[in-house]
Structure 1
Amino acid sequence: MDAVSGPTRTVAVVINPTKFDDLAGQKAAVAGFARQAGWAEPVWWETDRADSGVSAAQSALAETPDLVCAMGGDGTVRAVASVLRGTAVPFGLLPGGTGNLFARNLGIPVDSPADALEIAFFGQNRAIDVGLATFDDGIERVFVVMGGVGLDADIMAQTDDGLKKRMGWGAYVVAGGATMFREGFGVNLSVDGSDSETHECLMVLACNCSSVVANIELATGALLDDGRLDLVLLRPNIVAGWVGVAIDLAARIRNGAGSLQQVSGRESRFELDRPVRAEIDGDPLGETRSGSFRVDPGALIMRLPVPATFSSVRNRPAGPPTS
């Protein structure tokens, strides 16, 4: 540290205040870590219900920081990612939500704030992909974990926030029990310009990474930096039912012979035979009858553990030290 000019590296933190019981204590912990690391005092931007953090992230970016961190759940992470997409500013995660799916896929601890801080400030920079989803309203939205229509969106829409705080993942199980017997819908699907194929589905999910709920690998082999999205189709299975789905998950069967089918590509387009609820990164968006998913390769610079979790990103040499 320069004794005359003081710390020069800056961090802006976008925080969702509703995720923390002791907000002042959380901010003090981050500020203390920054001081010990020789960084300037963090600049804080709080999210609000109006935009879940987009305005806060834009304000944070306007400060031209050396690092932007998201301190909250998956909604906060997605909002910040949508602003940092395409910039060279590193993005650090300080998990504070219930699911923290993105952090889990990146190997960032969700139950150790000190370790998450260490990774955010001193981890390696890695470029990863983001997904882009467009539905009937024509708005293109960023997602970092998943975007989809059908069963997943129904579960997210019916999950009680209060129950999430008390039960964690169990709240999704409760919501899933109320939606698992919904009837399917017809999907006309084209991937990377291929001829459209018709499917009967309960869910169409575009995955940017392999695990989209708990630690279940739904999109087998999906990577965050392979320049592709993996579409997982859940089809009605009258004979085997949900037991068959569980078997297919455990056996990693994704060839269409069972309940699950998986296909990889850069862009997909779909038409549905009726309106179906949509979601991105766990946020329900209402119903849609058409849409598209596409990948924006290497659009987000993430701070990852050293070494990176290679089950989530390709095994390639890390970049130069960040500190």
Structure 2
Amino acid sequence: MTSAPESPRTLAIIVNPSKFDDIDATKAQVAEFAAASGWNEPRWFESDPDDGGVAAAREALQVKPDLVCAMGGDGTVRAVASVLRGTGIPYGLLPSGTGNLLARNLGIPLDSLDDALQVAFRGQDHPIDVGLATFDDGQEHAFVVMGGVGFDATIMDKTDDKLKKKVGWAAYAVAGGANLFGGKFSATLEVDGAAEDSVDCLMVLACNCSSVIGGIEVAPGATVDDGQLDVVMLRPNIVAGWVGVAIDVAIGNRNGIASIRQWSGREFEFTLDRPVLAELDGDPIGETASGRFGVDPDALLMRLPVPAVRHPSLGAVATLDED
């Protein structure tokens, strides 16, 4: 007795067309790869700038896809993740734009669409955590890489989009340098219900990954599959100034007299002495004077390379192919 042939599978792609000079050529390349892999013609859903791709992702679920891919910047990736969270549908990344924060942390190829498609169609599935943030508006937002208030949000808000297209990550450094000496505020933090002393700081950043910008390990030890977040607080270095801050980041100095403190946990609440700008995965979302960061463990099923690329932000998945 012979088994029935496997039905062709369906790929749904949420795309931000503004990231491509020739979107039709890109679609043709993906369709050719899908056909060669025995899949149905890909279903395409264009993101709406008003919601970053949330509506498109919800529409994509209606075709009952076997795989959903995001093809856009970090905002598109976050929007699609917020919809796929908890569904168990595999999520692939086809990196576009400058940041590609999650793809960088998962070892997904950035410079070759064919290589990224290879991972999406033939990779391994592994669950990762999703971060949750609630600010003054009371609405819960999902994020996959980072959520923060203060200096990080200012950098993202002040980065020139045209310069970013020309020089990539260097544009963030330009924005950071121009805003180094302002924005101090007082913050009180609770970590899993335990209150920390109120301190003056420049940034409170919840990290789901160790690297959140330019390959720098801002939150050493943070992994996407450990069931918790790492919160980093950047404080003015009274002794060494901004040179000390740079050194602390570079060498991973934490929790002493350094400029940076780091906590691991599942729930963080913060109160600030004044409203400051907030961001999620690099997208500024307005000012807030208080908020909460939490985690939804193993909520998103990601499609990763085989074997998994060894990266500080990957924990258990690094041993999948050795068991």
Instruction: Give the shorter-chain TM-score range.
Output: over 0.9
Give the conservation status (yes or no) of the 8 Å contact 1:188–1:196: yes
Report the TM-score when normalising by structure 1: 0.95
Give the conservation status (yes or no) of the 8 Å contact 1:275–1:289: yes
| TM-superposition CA deviations, 1:66-118 (whole Å, max 9, x none) | 00000011100000000000011000000011110110000001111111000
Report the TM-score when normalising by structure 2: 0.95
3-state DSSP of counterpart to 1:254: coil
Mark the runs of 5 or more structure 1 residues left unpaired by the alignment.
none
1:314 alignment counterpart: 315
| TM-superposition CA deviations, 1:176-231 (whole Å, max 9, x none) | 12211114110010010113421211000000000000110000011000001000
Q: Report the Cα distance in structure 2 between the residues aligned to 1:35 and 1:6, rounded to whole angstroms.
A: 15
* Structure 1 position 13 matched with structure 2 position 13: yes
Q: Report the Cα distance in structure 1 between the residues aligned to 2:30 and 2:164, rounded to whole angstroms.
A: 25
Give the fraction of aligned pairs with identical amino acids, expressed as a percent: 64
3-state DSSP of counterpart to 2:253: coil
Please, which moves more after superposition, 174-183 or 26-35? 174-183
Please, which moves more after superposition, 151-160 or 161-170? 161-170
Q: Report the Cα distance in structure 1 between the residues aligned to 2:316 and 2:307, rounded to whole angstroms.
A: 10
1:54 alignment counterpart: 54
- Count the aligned residue pairs: 316
Give the conservation status (yes or no) of the 8 Å contact 2:236–2:245: no
3-state DSSP of counterpart to 2:110: coil
Q: Report the Cα distance in structure 2 between the residues aligned to 1:86 and 1:230, rounded to whole angstroms.
A: 22
Please, which moves more after superposition, 233-242 or 20-29? 233-242
* Structure 1 position 207 matched with structure 2 position 174: no
Amino acid of the structure 2 residue aligned with 1:95: P
Give the conservation status (yes or no) of the 8 Å contact 1:126–1:318: no
3-state DSSP of counterpart to 1:95: coil
3-state DSSP of counterpart to 1:238: coil
RMSD over aligned CA atoms reads: 1.5
- Aligned ranges 1:67-106 → 2 under 5 Å: 67-106=67-106
Mark the runs of 5 or more structure 2 residues left unpaired by the alignment.
none
Q: Report the Cα distance in structure 2 between the residues aligned to 1:44 and 1:6, rounded to whole angstroms.
A: 23
Give the conservation status (yes or no) of the 8 Å contact 1:131–1:294: yes
Q: CA deviation at 1:125?
A: 0.2
* Structure 1 position 265 matched with structure 2 position 254: no
1:153 alignment counterpart: 153
- Aligned ranges 1:1-323 → 2 under 5 Å: 8-310=8-310, 311-316=312-317, 317-318=319-320
3-state DSSP of counterpart to 1:128: strand
Q: Report the Cα distance in structure 1 between the residues aligned to 2:256 and 2:66, rounded to whole angstroms.
A: 46
